[in-house]
Structure 1
Amino acid sequence: MKSLVSSEIVEPYAQALMSVAKTHNLADRFGDEVRALVSALEGSADLSQFLANPFIKVADKKAVLQRIVGDESHPFLRNFLMLLVDKGRILFIEGIGKQYLALLRELNQTVLAEVVSAVELNDAQKESVKQRVQNITGARSVDLQTTIDPDLIGGVIIKVGSQIIDASLRGQLRRIGVRLAA
């Protein structure tokens, strides 16, 4: 139920932000600023809880958001964030930001590749993954979202949309085990 309510709120706000961004040719700039904000929210559970707390004053939430986005952010984006606070929708900001980034990827013909690896990938490995995903999908460019899972032992798992490429050592061992059991 929560995801239904969330999507009914998240999508229209993300669409509205994208509409403003496209009208003023600011889609990529907003994308950079929204990406930084989403990253800050993902990195701080305290910040997310602060913004979601209904007992904290609107002025305090606005002051914290102003400090986070700073004066360098575009006034349209700052006003959008203040509107979310005023409407009591700021608790959805992370979802709205992620939906906006998905719309931006669609606009720019970019795909999101979620990469899980046993260790941190270096720049050459990241570029190799991007090239492989570009070849598979035919996308103009690729955004990588990397996470580390030491249980993989080695290799990577790449998820693009509903397609999963399991090139991990754990996956290979699992496939061998299935063959041996059959």
Structure 2
Amino acid sequence: MSQSTSLAKAAFPYAEALFESSQLMQLIEKTNQDLDFIANTISASDSLSNFLSNPLVNPEIKKKVLNKLFLDQVSSHILNFLSVLADRRRIGLLNSIISCYLNLVYKLQSTTVANISTSVFLTDLQKKSLEKKIQDFTKSKEVKLIINIDKELIGGFVIKIGSKIIDMSISGQLSQITSYLNIDNL
């Protein structure tokens, strides 16, 4: 089992509990905003990220730091959740928990997440066109694009939606041509 799979497995119950409580309290959108803010804050500071993931730091100290950082920034619902994670020594799973939580929200909202790897930046028109095509393909209400610039690609793009991969890259097309040529030679 890969490390990301085991992290997701450990994070899922926490994400599910947060999702259910947010849904009951009708705080889904506010929770999304708060988690986005927290994730951006933590990813912007390597020292904060290292501090929170360090198992030798006392959970009470982590809770104090989280409270100071986010007291007036996020809801009490999220602060309580962060406190529970710190107490249970699971605050290091926060990124995985946020990812699992967002997947649950996307499923609820019938939103498809498409990871796109491309060699160049996409224009707004290209993004809108891709969103529309993916929306038609998946029959979802909404599409969220996560775009990664991959300098290894010569040209084109690769779309990953769940376990489906649509390879429209030049290297992918060359691989297809190679496999066709090898079959013909047999």
TM-score after normalising by structure 1: 0.87
> Structure 2: which amino acid aligns with 1:139?
S
SS at match of 2:18: helix
The 1:110–1:57 alpha-carbon spacing in structure 2 relative to 1, beyond 3 Å, is: same
Match in the other structure for 1:84: 85
Q: Which residue of 2 aligns with 1:155?
A: 156
Q: Which amino acid aligns with 1:26?
A: L
Q: Distance in 1 between matches of 2:45 and 2:123?
A: 25
Determine the structure 2 residue equivalent to 1:48: 49
1:35·1:101 contact (CA, 8 Å) conserved in 2? no
Give the conservation status (yes or no) of the 8 Å contact 1:28–1:104.
Answer: no
Aligned in 2, Cα 1:69/1:168: closer, same or farther, shift over 3 Å? farther
Distance 1:113 1:4 in 2: 19
| Alignment match, 1:110 | 111
Query: For residues 8 and 157 of structure 1, what CA distance do their matches in structure 2 show?
Result: 26
Say what the alpha-carbon RMSD is for the aligned residues: 2.3
TM-score, with structure 2 as normaliser: 0.85
Structure 1 residue ranges without an equivalent (≥5): none
1:159: Cα distance to partner? 0.7
Whole-Å separation in 2 of the counterparts to 1:48 and 1:164? 32
Residues 160 and 166, structure 2, Cα contact 8 Å, conserved in 1: yes
Quote the residue 1:93 is aligned against. 94
1:176 and 2:177 correspond: yes
Q: Alpha carbons of 1:168 and 1:36: their partners in 2 closer, same or farther (altered >3 Å)? A: farther
Shift of 1:84: 0.8
Shift of 1:8: 4.9
How many angstroms apart in 1 are the aligned matches of 2:45 and 2:136?
36
- Tell me the matched-pair count: 182
Q: CA deviation at 1:13?
A: 1.0
Q: Which has the larger radius of gyration?
A: 2
1:150 is paired with a residue whose SS is coil
SS in 1 for 2:140: coil
Q: CA deviation at 1:7?
A: 4.5
CA contact (8 A) 1:118 1:149 kept: yes
- 1:123 and 1:44, CA in 2 relative to 1: closer, same or farther beyond 3 A? farther
Q: Classify the secondary structure of the residue corresponding to 1:151.
A: coil
Structure 2, gaps ≥5 residues long: none
Distance 1:10 1:164 in 2: 25
Q: d(CA) in 2 for partners of 1:43 and 1:3?
A: 21
